[in-house]
Amino acid sequence: MLTIDNLEKRYRTGDRALNGVSFTVDRGQVVGLIGPSGAGKSTLIRCINRLVEPTAGKVLLNGTDLTTLNVPALRKMRRRIGMIFQEYALVERLTVMENVLSGRLGYVPFWRSFFRRFPAKDVEKAFALLERVGLSDHVDKRADALSGGQRQRVGIARALEQDPELLLVDEPTASLDPKTSRQIMRLICEVCRERSLPAIINIHDVTLAQMFVDRIIGLQAGRVVFDGPPDALDEKALTAIYGEEDWHAMREEKEDEARDEEEAAAFEQAREERMAGLL
């Protein structure tokens, strides 16, 4: 369980990125974190694992207050927090398997990681995870040979290789087409529920969040202004988070864009298949 208690982040300029943020995430619950740019979403995620130091408040993961840990203790605790990044954060020249095994770097001696000699149980687990995320046929491919969706799947497998107690996800679908975005969100939510793993997903796509997450938290100017189930996110709540907008028209426009992109992707796939048949 994750508990955020009155978390604040104030910069030297006096600006507040977070202002008294409090909430709890239960085991297996997936929370979508939404809000406009500058609302504090990325800052909140990075304060949880102290990539950004909070100014005040508490972050408790299964009873341990991360804000009080010294550097060695924090390093050990970070092994238990999986992170999935918008830009994948893979080592391009390494294979898919090597990137997944990098999730064990905090657990093995330096010489093992240097020579890429991981324990057999770690390798077996990596194979199982790659099968779970649908990449068992890409084990020996270099990361730079993968599509965006495949790279994000490697990132998911790498985070799970850590045996995390918490998953933090920063804009996992920002660079992906609508169909792949849904596949990635579905995969993240499924593995969290399978493992009773709490997760926070920072996401701009409100419609996508409503489709998959268990709960939505909306930030505005560093404060929580909405916290509830996806179906409670009505126009009033969206206005409180983002400001005035014709939300009905906006949703219709987004649905039209998604359909157009899917049709274009299907056309391109059919064209490639026809070309392959001619060769």
| Residue 208 located in a structural domain | yes
Whether 251 and 230 share a structural domain? no
Alpha carbon distances (Å) from 141 to 89, 157, 219:
16, 15, 40
Whether 11 and 122 share a structural domain? no
Domain that holds residue 262: 246-279
Alpha carbon distances (Å) from 7 to 45, 81, 152:
11, 18, 30
Whether 62 and 115 share a structural domain? no
CA distance 20 to 223: 7
The CATH number of residue 228's host domain is 3.40.50.300
In contact, 65 and 31? CB cutoff 8 Å: no
Whether 151 and 269 share a structural domain? no
H or E element that contains 47: helix 41-48
| Residue 85 located in a structural domain | no
| Residue 40 located in a structural domain | yes
pLDDT at 263: 60
| Residue 124 located in a structural domain | yes
Whether 2 and 75 share a structural domain? yes
Whether 170 and 75 share a structural domain? yes
Residue 185's nearest CA partner among 164, 206, 208 is 208
Domain count, the chain: 3
Whether 214 and 204 share a structural domain? yes
| Residue 261 located in a structural domain | yes
pTM above 0.85, yes or no: no
Whether 155 and 222 share a structural domain? no
| Residue 138 located in a structural domain | yes
| Residue 86 located in a structural domain | no
CA distance 246 to 243: 10
C-alpha distance across the termini of the chain, in Å: 55
pLDDT at 260: 56
pLDDT at 164: 92
| Residue 184 located in a structural domain | no
CA distance 48 to 81: 9
Whether 130 and 268 share a structural domain? no
pLDDT at 248: 54
40 torsion bin: left (phi>0), alpha (psi -120 to 50), beta (else): left
Whether 66 and 12 share a structural domain? yes
pLDDT at 269: 62
CA distance 268 to 258: 15
Whether 170 and 62 share a structural domain? yes
Whether 171 and 60 share a structural domain? yes
Complete edge-to-edge strand list for the sheet that includes strand 2-10: 16-25, 2-10, 56-61, 64-65
pLDDT at 111: 44
| Three-state DSSP class for residue 210 | helix
What is the residue-level pLDDT of the chain in tens, covering all 279 positions? 899 999 999 988 878 899 999 999 999 999 999 999 889 999 999 999 999 999 999 999 999 999 999 998 988 888 889 988 877 788 888 899 988 988 877 655 554 554 466 778 888 889 999 999 998 888 888 988 888 889 899 999 999 998 899 999 988 888 888 888 999 999 999 999 999 999 999 998 999 999 999 999 999 999 999 999 999 998 888 998 988 765 555 555 555 555 555 665 566 666 656 655 555
CB-CB neighbours of 135 under 10 Å: 21
What is the DSSP secondary-structure string of 82-143?
EEE-TT----TTSBHHHHHHGGGTTTS-HHHHHTT---HHHHHHHHHHHHHTT-GGGTTSBG
- The residues, any chain, with a CB within 8 Å of residue 151's CB and separated by 6 or more, are 88, 90, 143
